[in-house]
Homo-oligomer: A and B are copies of this chain.
Amino acid sequence: MNIAIDYQSRVPIYEQIVLEIEKQVALNILKPNEQIPAIRELAVNLGINPNTVKKAYDTLEQRKVIISKSTKGTFITDNVDEVKRIMVDKIIDDIKKNIQELENIGINKEDIIKKLKVSE
Contact = CB atoms under 8 A, between A and B. Distances in A.
Contacts of A92: 102, 112, 115-116
A12 B40 CA distance: 22
Contacts of A116: 92, 95-96, 99
B107 A88 contact: yes
Interface string A88-120: 100110111011011011110000100110011
A88 B102 contact: yes
Interface string A1-41: 00000011011000000000001001110000000000000
A10 B10 contact: yes
Interface of A: 7-8, 10-11, 23, 26-28, 62, 67-70, 72, 84, 87-88, 91-92, 94-96, 98-99, 101-102, 104-107, 112, 115-116, 119-120
